[in-house]
Structure 1
Amino acid sequence: MAQTELRLNAELRTEFGKGAARRIRRDHKIPAVLYGHGTDPVHLTLPGHDTMLALKHSNAILTLDFDGKEELALAKDVQRDPIKPVIEHVDLVIVKRGEKVTVDVPVHVEGEAGPETNVVVESSTLSVEADVLSIPELFVVSVEGLEAGSQILAKDVELPAGVTLVADEELLVVNVSQQAAEEPEEEAAEGEEAAEGEEAAASEEAAEGDEA
């Protein structure tokens, strides 16, 4: 499924620095910068709640209304607070309708692999080129019934029409391996007892040697 174009009302920002950014966030807004296509960077303030909702999706496409005009933009870098559910800053890149862009699209794994296997996602995103208004929201990869030793490479991921793989075709996306055999509890306990017995015997021999 492709991204949905979302509209946000933005404001030009005239205050800069950490103090200004804190004041903006206290007002439940988000500082941002818009650049690209040879234009000078434009500093903006975005509405907090609406922006949070829009940026739940990776590679969000936003129509920004500000200063009597509008710009189509791609959310390129979203800086989030490591603890609180707060967006600290957004970098936005100007894009044009019909333009192709290179983006990293998340990989979502579904299904259940064969018994006694481990499924490891080696690449959580895939780099692709797509029309700016047709960027996939995610790529679904199925591991249903796959046996140990199976691998899914970038070239194996099904891409929508018009989307081109930029990543290396041989990039390992998902690896299905054999689970490590667990040592039976009784055998493990016997092994521990034997080891403890050997350690005790060695200690006794050392003590006898010292007495001699």
Structure 2
Amino acid sequence: MSNPTLVAQTRSEFGKGAARRARRAGLVPGVLYGHGGDPVHVDLPAHELFLAVRGQKNALLELVIEGKKQLALVKEVQRHPVSRDLLHADFLAVKAGEVVDVEVPVSIIGESAAGTQHTQEEFALLVKAPATAIPESIEVDITGIEAGTAVRVADVTFPEGVVSELDPETVVVTVSEEVVEVEEEEAPAEAAEESAE
């Protein structure tokens, strides 16, 4: 699947006033950094950027800056707390064969053994992954796991080329006996009346 391509304009004006003007013009201020170079300040088309990052963590884009193409990993997006409009974006410049540090969401699949319940302890794992092959999620299969079991980082099967530098003993999911809430029976109405006398 090809990465979304956005044409970015280099920005020479800074500050809140310049940012407001950019947003009024349908642009989102951003900064591209990495590879030891000076940060490059850019303005990007708001709608195209919104579509590119919607529902995605670690989105990889191709930015066209002054005619040159640059792969860029979205590191952070700031949104308006009410309207959810994009306010600012930070990008990390990457190369096709480069390995990057990213947080990838954990996805629990399967059902643990009958009469058990699971508790997710880690919702994302810090991993090293190829910039062009960052997984959308890391699946942790709990099918048939019995109560009293902890699934640790060492037990997780990572996609090819993806490794975690977390402590292998870090617990990702625990499985315990299902807690059944017993509803207390209501006392008979007569008993309630007697106690009221």
Q: TM-score, normalised by structure 1?
A: 0.79
Instruction: Give 4+ residue runs of structure 1 displaced > 4 Å after superposition.
Output: none
User: Which residue does 1:75 correspond to in 2?
Assistant: 74
Of residues 17, 30, 33, the one that matches 1:19 is 17
How many aligned positions are there?
A: 193
Matched residue of 2:18: which SS? helix
**Is the 8 Å Cα contact of residues 6 and 63 (structure 1) preserved in structure 2?**
yes
Cα separation, partners in 2 of 1:10 and 1:165, compared to 1, 3 Å: same
**Is the 8 Å Cα contact of residues 5 and 133 (structure 1) preserved in structure 2?**
no
User: For structure 1, which runs of at least 5 residues remain unmatched after alignment?
Assistant: 201-212
Matched residue of 2:47: which SS? helix
User: Which residue does 1:207 correspond to in 2?
Assistant: none
User: Which residue does 1:88 correspond to in 2?
Assistant: 87
Structure 1 CA distance for aligned equivalents of residues 125 and 53 of structure 2: 19
CA-to-aligned-CA distance 1:21-70 (integer Å, 9 cap, x gap): 23322333211001111111111111112211221321112111021212
User: Which residue does 1:156 correspond to in 2?
Assistant: 155
Q: How does 1:101-116 map to 2 (within 5 A)?
A: 101-116=100-115
Structure 2 CA distance for aligned equivalents of residues 26 and 112 of structure 1: 49
Shift of 1:82: 2.9
Structure 2 CA distance for aligned equivalents of residues 131 and 18 of structure 1: 36
Structure 1 CA distance for aligned equivalents of residues 23 and 118 of structure 2: 40
**Is the 8 Å Cα contact of residues 4 and 61 (structure 1) preserved in structure 2?**
no
Root-mean-square deviation (CA, aligned residues, Å) is 2.5
Q: TM-score, normalised by structure 2?
A: 0.85
Matched residue of 2:23: which SS? helix
Of residues 6, 9, 17, the one that matches 2:7 is 9
Cα separation, partners in 2 of 1:118 and 1:24, compared to 1, 3 Å: farther
Larger mean CA deviation between 123-132 and 24-33 belongs to 24-33
Larger mean CA deviation between 76-85 and 50-59 belongs to 76-85
Question: Larger % of helix: which?
Answer: 1
Q: Which amino acid aligns with 2:81?
A: P
Larger Rg: 1
User: Which residue does 1:209 correspond to in 2?
Assistant: none
Cα separation, partners in 2 of 1:27 and 1:115, compared to 1, 3 Å: farther
How much identity, in percent, do the aligned residues show?
45
User: Which residue does 2:144 correspond to in 1?
Assistant: 145
Matched residue of 2:20: which SS? helix
Structure 1 CA distance for aligned equivalents of residues 138 and 158 of structure 2: 8
CA-to-aligned-CA distance 1:129-177 (integer Å, 9 cap, x gap): 1221121121122223333322221122211222222222111111222
